[in-house]
Amino acid sequence: MEKLTLREFEGNPALAMRRAVETGQPVRVALEDGSAVIIQAESPRASGGLEKLLAAGLASPPARKRPRAAWAPVELTSGVDDLLASIDRDW
């Protein structure tokens, strides 16, 4: 198990998580009062969280898809080349 100090963890929390995921081993973060927090990666497939909830009847798949927002077409008063030229002039 890899060990980090709280200061190391605060400086780069993503490092501890990346190490736990890449190595598959837990990472221990020692706190100032002597206690510790252990960060351990969990495979999304291994947990089967959603599948377990669906099987237990505690969750259900969406009943319908959300309708997409209807965007009104925008008419340009001038071409893109004119727009870029005006931006260049303003610089």
Q: Are strands 2-5 and 27-30 parallel, antiparallel or unpaired?
A: parallel
pLDDT band for 71, please (50, 70, 90 cuts). Answer: confident
- Residue 46 in this model has a pLDDT that exceeds 60: no
Q: Is 56 left (phi over 0), alpha (psi -120 to 50) or beta?
A: alpha
Q: Where are the domains of the chain?
A: 2-56
pLDDT for res 38 = 92
Model-level pTM?
0.46
**CATH of 2-56 given 3.40.1620.10, 3.40.1190.20, 3.10.310.10, 3.30.2350.10:** 3.40.1620.10
Phi, psi dihedrals of residue 52, rounded to the nearest 5°: -65, -40
How many other CB atoms are there within 10 angstroms of residue 29's CB atom?
20
The sign one gets for the Cα dihedral 74, 77, 80, 83 is negative
Q: Which of 11-20, 23-32, 42-51 has the lowest mean pLDDT?
A: 42-51
Chain center to CA of 29: 22
Scored b (16 or more CB within 10 A) or e, 10-25 reads eeeeeebeebbeeeee
